[in-house]
Amino acid sequence: MISDPDMPAKVVREIASFCAQANVRVKTLQGLADHQAGRTALSQMRDMRIEDLLGRQPVHLDLNEVRGLLRGQCVLVTGAGGSIGSELARQIASFVPAELVLLDHAENGLYYVHNELAALHPGVPVHPVICDVKDAEGVERVLARFRPSVVFHAAAHKHVPLLEANPREAVLNNVVGTRHLVRAADRHGVSKFVLISTDKAVNPTSVMGASKRVCEMLLQSRSQRSRTRFVAVRFGNVLGSDGSVIPLFQRQLERGGPITVTHPEARRYFMTIPEAVRLVLQAAAMGRGGDVLLLDMGEQVRIVDLARQLIRMAGLHEGEDIEIVFTGLRPGEKLCEELHSDTERTRITRHERILVWELDARDEESLLNEVTELEALAHEGNPGAIKRQLRRLVPEYAEPSHEVLEAAPKTPVVELPAATAPRAGVPSQTWQATTRSLVESFVASLLVAISLPIWVALWIEARSSGHKSPLIRENRIGASRRRDQRRSTPTEMPIERRSIERRTQDLKGVAIRCARFRVDLGPVGRWVAHHHLETLPWLLNVMRCEMALVGPRPEREEQVLRWRLLLPSYDRRFSVLPGVTGLAQISGLPDADAEGITRRLHYDLHYVEHRSLLLDLRTMTRTAALVLRAEDPPPMRPMLAATPLEERASAPAAGDEASAQSRPAPYPSSSATAVKGVTR
């Protein structure tokens, strides 16, 4: 348990690494990732998150300076429905502005953030405005109506590959929209205008990065003759934003993989959203006209390390449960991001996490003429012409030519606990297991051949009853998915699940497509049921190496979800292949109540722990005797001692003392007694 919110992330990573080697879980208290929370509670205990491993030193705000910028002022936030814009609105509202105007063209995000702020800050007037920054008249009316003193411009298209395919929208939304806002802010006497920029504007290789650099140039050129202080703030990727790689990896994990990474050496700077917004507010309070401020992003992180860390946090294993696939860098992407170019001069500020890059401002008239030409080309929609004009505006803009094995620069990176790749070349099963599987497949084929008359008789009975097949097909849960890569081959019919979370967490085994005989169609079916042969088609699964002859019974999905929450050891039964027969199947115990399930689990766990050829032969001999004699299996003595939770699961109610006294004695723990029960 990590409860110190001031613990450096490097120490947290070391603790997580040692605990991972020892197979020990790590939990934290609320506030470790958000250092401004100040309060923790045991009820807020949670598992380690990726932001806990990437966090840096806490961001200390000069509250008086930020309060002086925002308190009692009318503040406008564009892109307020997005990840950065909504967090800006939340933190700005805590400083009690006179009015808070939320502007966005997407109504859903705007609706949610407006409702949230109205509930949390009833004393702050919050105005939701649906408007597109590309609409010059609409922007003009908004600023004329509300007369904001401070504008935070977070509205922008930010997805690099999408904007490479749609450069027209990048120009119209990012460049032209920013020009409309800059002109309106200057006309209506805005005191400070803050542009949310990106590290991709440094030596841009993408349309998105070049468009954001043009936005910075528009602010710098206008600041030379305006009373409005125009400030741009650059920072890198933020964890958890809508366009971040983390939600993408999480969705791929939920689908069962694979996780796609562009390049094994691809690196990015990451910050948490609250951390980035706090620094933006501090930079906004400090910035002077024409400044381009840069947030300290710490060290870069390998994208593949993030993927491996998320796999480990999900309780999975790379190469066994899920694969990582390298797809190559996409158009416009860099191998590593840069924070400044060689032509930019740095200047420190009084805040340790904020730097100023001094850039030469262009003449506004010539810049606006070139932007007008760019806008005309965007309306024509010619991607090649748009990129050529962007290259004229931003000479350092150059489209990358990716090599297959491009070398990464020697820069420090954050070493996450799961950064080490899994060892390759480890066989998934030994030769003994392979031999056993082949022998069981042969035996299953022989049994299917012997039982062929039963198959034919049931097929005839089914056809005469109007059914196409004597089989009932169903999905059951078999061995743990960690036995082999999930979904290495397509399944005939995917298992239905009520939620995505159940796919990776609740169901501990893979779905097996099974079949059993219909026993309600006539005398042949009743004879099959009397001789306990309704699961004879499971031999086909043995022939496909999906099941074994002896092992725990493959369970239905709803039963797995029900009993694994009640019986702590339930998941262990999935560590071996399910069987056509087994100790629990021949025990004669019911599977409809807690006591029967608990005792059947004890037989399954005994088999898992004492699995041997001798035990398999004894079990199959006992099964053959039951089938040939057509008798119900007599109750067998329980195998193992019950855990406290299992005793509670099977404990009688207060009024059932008489029935409780008639139940068998507590389970003997001796394995010798267990084997005697099997042989008897």
Task: Give the active site residues.
Answer: 200
Backbone CA torsion sign across 282, 286, 290, 296: negative
Give the Cα separation of 1 and 399 in Å (integer).
47
Listed residue (368, 470, 436, 466) closest to 611, CA to CA: 436
Strand partners, 322: 318
Give the Cα separation of 441 and 439 in Å (integer).
5
Scan for tokens 């105005």, then name that residue. 127
Six-digit token string for 645: 């939770």
DSSP letters spanning 379-405: HHT-HHHHHHHHHHH-TT-------TT
Would you report the helix, strand and coil content of the chain in percent, each value rounded to 5?
45, 15, 40
Give the Cα separation of 596 and 664 in Å (integer).
12
Q: Is 499 helix (H, G, I), strand (E, B) or coil?
A: coil
Listed residue (632, 628, 629) closest to 451, CA to CA: 628
DSSP letters spanning 413-477: B---TT-SPPPS---SS-HHHHHHHHHHHHHHHHHHHHTHHHHHHHHHHHHHTT-S-SEEEEEEE
Listed residue (492, 499, 498) closest to 474, CA to CA: 492
Give the Cα separation of 303 and 324 in Å (integer).
11
Backbone CA torsion sign across 292, 298, 301, 306: negative
Biggest CA–CA distance in the chain, Å, is: 101
The C-alpha angle 483, 485, 487, rounded to 5 degrees, equals 120
Residues 45-63 as b/e (b if ≥16 CB within 10 A, e otherwise) read eeebbbbbbbbbeebebee
Q: Is 531 helix (H, G, I), strand (E, B) or coil?
A: coil
Looking at beta carbons, which pairs linking 49-53 to residues 24 or more positions away fall under 8 Å?
49/313, 50/239, 50/246, 50/306, 50/309, 50/310, 50/313, 51/239, 51/240, 51/272, 52/2, 52/9, 52/12, 52/28, 53/9, 53/12, 53/13, 53/16, 53/309, 53/414, 53/416, 53/417
Give the Cα separation of 177 and 207 in Å (integer).
16
Listed residue (320, 542, 284) closest to 436, CA to CA: 542
